[in-house]
Amino acid sequence: FTDAEFYQRSFDPQEYLREFCSLSNARGQPNTLLTQSLRSLFNMFALDGLSGHTLIDVGCGPTIYQLLSACERFQEIISLDYTDRNRRELEKWLRNEPGAFDWSPVVQYVCELEGDREKWAEKEEKLRKKVKRVLKCDVTKANPTAPVSLPPADCIVSTLCLEAACKDLATLRSALRNISTLVKPGGHLVMVTVLQETFYAFNKQVFSCLYLERSMVEEAVEGAGFDVKLSEVQPYVPGDARTDCRAVMNLVARR
Residues that bind ligand SAH (CB under 6 A): 4, 7, 11, 59-61, 63, 66, 81-83, 86, 137-140, 159-161, 164-165
Geometric angle at alpha carbon 222, from 218 and 228, rounded to 5°: 65
Least Cα distance to 248 among 15, 68, 32 occurs for 32
Minimum distance of ligand SAH from residue 74's CB (angstroms): 17
Q: How far apart are CA 195 and CA 192, in angstroms?
A: 10
Please report how close the Cβ of residue 7 comes to ligand SAH at its closest, in angstroms.
4
206 CB burial (10 A radius; 0-12, 13-18, 19+): middle
Residue placing its CB nearer to ligand SAH in the complex, 137 or 221: 137
Quickly count: other Cβ atoms within 10 Å of residue 156's Cβ.
26
Beta strands in the chain (DSSP E): 52-58, 74-81, 131-136, 153-159, 183-195, 199-202, 205-208, 227-235, 247-254
Nearest distance, CB of residue 32 and ligand SAH, angstroms: 15
Complex with ligand SAH: residue 119 or 143, whichever CB lies closer = 143
Length of the chain: 255
99 Cβ contact partners less than 8 Å away, ≥ 6 residues apart: 92
User: Which CB sits closer to ligand SAH, 4 or 233?
Assistant: 4
- Closer CB to ligand SAH, 68 or 137, in the complex: 137
Quick one: 66 or 180, whose CB is closer to ligand SAH?
66
Residue 138 assigned ligand-binding role: yes
Query: At closest approach, how far in Å is the CB of 148 from ligand SAH?
Result: 14
139 is in an annotated binding site: yes
The counts of H helices and E strands in the chain are: 9, 9
We find the least distance from the C-beta atom of residue 118 to ligand SAH, in angstroms, to be: 26
Q: How many whole angstroms separate alpha carbon 155 and alpha carbon 253?
A: 10
Q: How far is the CB of 253 from ligand SAH (least distance, A)?
A: 18
Q: Does residue 194 contact residue 248 with C-beta atoms inside 8 Å?
A: yes
- Closer residue to ligand SAH in complex, CB, 64/111: 64
Binding residues, by number, are 16, 65, 81, 86, 138-139
Binding residues for S-adenosyl-L-methionine, by number, are 16, 65, 81, 86, 138-139
